[in-house]
Chains A and B, each alone.
Chain A
Amino acid sequence: MKKLISIILFYSLTSNANVFVVDQGDIEFKAKGKPALISINGKSDHLTGKLTETDNGFSGEFDLDLNHLSTGIELRDEHLKKTYLKVDQYPQAKLQFSNLKVLKNQEIDFVASLTLHGQTKEINGNAIVSDKNTINAEFIINLADFSIDIPSFKGITVAKDVKIEVNASLKEMIK
């Protein structure tokens, strides 16, 4: 009987939930290299994720396969993945939201949990969710917070703060 009540309760709680998955998405990071102030941009479109919309807002996560990050220069990609992100050990980055209050077409501030390089930290960012269920979020991470060494190569050293942009088109799952 208890089991039946639990099933009914669970069903009643989740039946109003809308579940969205990432249809298409990418993540871009933007870093500065000093002293010449070069821009180092990397991108990956291997983004997956699922968000569930309840009365309390959106909850869920985005996952990025770091093996597919590309900065446009092979040697730089190799250094980034092997030496700094250590993708052999930590191949995924995960961004987790919980009860994210969304006002469509308005910029919102959010707090999320980012797991990168084996470290999980809270990050603050802002995002816009459109009527067409696209989400554009951005936040800044400090490499030291995630125990990532500051990349340096032949006189160019990357600044410790790196801006990250997440762009995803969400598709509602059929209930």
Chain B
Amino acid sequence: MRFVLLVLLLPSLAQAYVENITHGYVNCMACHISQSGGGVLTDYGRSLSKELMSTWQGWNGIEKPLFGAIENSEKIKIGGNIRSIQTHLKNDSFKQGQAFIMQQNIEVAAQYMQLWVVATVGLQGGPSSSATKNDIISERHYISYDVNEESRLRVGKFRRNFGLNDPAHTRLTKSPLGFGSNSETYQLEFSKFSEQDEIFIATDLGDINDPKSKESEKSFLINYARYIGSDSKVGVNYLYGETGNNRRNLFGLYSVWKLPFEMFFKGEADYQQLLSADETIHLMASTLTLGYQGFKGFTPYLVSDFVQRDLSKHNTRTSLLGIGTQWLPLAHIEFQVEIQKRIDRTPRRIASNIAWMMFHFYL
């Protein structure tokens, strides 16, 4: 139980800053090789990490891999992440605090003509009690083909592009819906981009290592987003999923908006209908974040999350209010701190005070 709670607290394992939409980067491809964001950076993305996102710019070439010790070539890009976290959780039942490494991997992307081959390899992170800790894993490995300037086709293992590609996968619109940590799956994906909008259509092949598993979900996903002006975005998406035990229809709306006074809003609301042989369960989840970008590299924010796992039962609700800040002092380095007040009604009301502090170094 303690481990489960701890895992629920963990923040990002991906690397994508959707609020950069408010700076005119309405899709992810300027900065990331992955069309849905996260992972290995393009040279432009590295430059932006220094020029736009960091408090101090440091020296010439600091944004290059390993502070400039390694050069990306035109055809090969190097990435990788180390993330460590200190967590704290306190409620009536127990008090817990731990520090551990969440993620340690390297990622390489190689280009051949219109083809990108991308793969990560690393060690499974997590607290010392985790059975799989230090197992060798590859979170992502895929081949992406540039069909033309506007369209891409991708096959392999990567994260399903549903809702906001927010790094905080512990948000209540992520984990309860199956998009939490290590939820990358084998997919075939087509994406198309224009100056006004973008669309992703993907089919999930399920657990190819254990195709007979009743837990493995095969799914179809469509995600359409419209750009509002040059600095905001509204999206709608639908996923149909099927396992050996149930089927689900998942609908979602999401948005990132630039607001006056250097502020931004990002939010997502999802509704899921889960159908099994003997019942249908309706779930709703939302996450709302209001952030301030007035200090370069330093982004304080307020966050509100909500999920009701069964709309017919009040005692399946979880809600939280949080305040946090993200700070990127120099290229390659990120700190994030968040304090939350979380109320779980499952079925007993449990009020928890939660805090975590994350350190992130990207190669």
B27 at the interface (CB under 8 A from A): yes
Q: Do B43 and A34 touch across chains, with their CB atoms under 8 A apart?
A: no
Q: How far is the CB of B94 from chain A (nearest CB, A)?
A: 47
Q: Whole-angstrom distance between the alpha carbons of A106 and B121 in the complex? A: 62
Q: Whole-angstrom distance between the alpha carbons of A97 and B30 in the complex? A: 39
Q: How far is the CB of A72 from chain B (nearest CB, A)?
A: 6
Q: Whole-angstrom distance between the alpha carbons of A74 and B51 in the complex? A: 7
Q: B195 — which chain A residues lie within 8 A by C-beta?
A: 32, 37
Q: B149 — which chain A residues lie within 8 A by C-beta?
A: 34-35
Beyond A41-B24, A154-B43, whether A35 also contacts B29 by CB under 8 A is yes
Q: How far is the CB of B354 from chain A (nearest CB, A)?
A: 35
List A31-55 residues whose CB lies under 8 Å from chain B.
32-41
Contact bitstring B180-193, A, C-beta under 8 A = 1, else 0 = 00000000000001
Q: Whole-angstrom distance between the alpha carbons of A41 and B42 in the complex? A: 21
B194 at the interface (CB under 8 A from A): yes
Q: Whole-angstrom distance between the alpha carbons of A114 and B25 in the complex? A: 30
Contact bitstring B26-46, A, C-beta under 8 A = 1, else 0 = 110110000000000011100
Q: How far is the CB of A73 from chain B (nearest CB, A)?
A: 5
Q: Whole-angstrom distance between the alpha carbons of A44 and B238 in the complex? A: 42
Residue of A nearest to B193 (CB): A37
B349 at the interface (CB under 8 A from A): no
Q: Do A153 and B231 touch across chains, with their CB atoms under 8 A apart?
A: no
Q: How many A-B residue pairs have CB under 8 A?
A: 49
B52 at the interface (CB under 8 A from A): yes
Q: How far is the CB of A154 from chain B (nearest CB, A)?
A: 4
Q: Do B43 and A155 touch across chains, with their CB atoms under 8 A apart?
A: yes
Overall SS of chain B's interface? loop
Point out which of B23, B27, B42, B193 has the most chain A C-beta atoms below 10 A from its C-beta: B23
Q: Which bucket holds chain A's interface residue count?
A: 20 to 34
A76 at the interface (CB under 8 A from B): yes
Q: How far is the CB of A83 from chain B (nearest CB, A)?
A: 15
Q: How far is the CB of B93 from chain A (nearest CB, A)?
A: 48
Q: Whole-angstrom distance between the alpha carbons of A156 and B31 in the complex? A: 10
Beyond A35-B29, A38-B24, A73-B52, whether A154 also contacts B47 by CB under 8 A is yes
List B47-100 residues whose CB lies under 8 Å from chain A.
47-48, 51-52
Q: How far is the CB of B150 from chain A (nearest CB, A)?
A: 8
B245 at the interface (CB under 8 A from A): no
Q: Whole-angstrom distance between the alpha carbons of A30 and B42 in the complex? A: 23
Q: Whole-angstrom distance between the alpha carbons of A38 and B99 in the complex? A: 39
Contact bitstring B149-172, A, C-beta under 8 A = 1, else 0 = 100000000000000000000000
A4 at the interface (CB under 8 A from B): no
A75 at the interface (CB under 8 A from B): yes
Residue of B nearest to A40 (CB): B24
**Partner pick for B194 among A37, A154, A156, CB 8 A cutoff:** A37
Q: Do A36 and B51 touch across chains, with their CB atoms under 8 A apart?
A: no
Contact bitstring A49-66, B, C-beta under 8 A = 1, else 0 = 000000000000000000
B230 at the interface (CB under 8 A from A): yes
Q: Whole-angstrom distance between the alpha carbons of A41 and B230 in the complex? A: 8
Q: Do A155 and B230 touch across chains, with their CB atoms under 8 A apart?
A: no
Beyond A35-B149, A39-B24, A39-B26, whether A153 also contacts B230 by CB under 8 A is no
Q: Whole-angstrom distance between the alpha carbons of A38 and B52 in the complex? A: 14
Contact bitstring A65-96, B, C-beta under 8 A = 1, else 0 = 00000001111100000000000000000000
Q: Do A154 and B26 touch across chains, with their CB atoms under 8 A apart?
A: no
Q: Do B30 and A156 touch across chains, with their CB atoms under 8 A apart?
A: yes
5 more A-B contacts (CB under 8 A) besides A30-B230, A32-B195?
A: A36-B27, A38-B24, A39-B24, A41-B230, A156-B44
Q: Which residues of A contact B (CB under 8 A)?
A: 30, 32-41, 72-76, 153-156
A-B contact pairs, 21 of them (CB 8 A): A34-B149, A36-B25, A37-B26, A37-B27, A37-B29, A37-B194, A37-B195, A38-B26, A38-B30, A39-B26, A40-B24, A41-B24, A73-B48, A73-B51, A75-B51, A76-B51, A153-B47, A154-B42, A155-B42, A155-B43, A156-B44
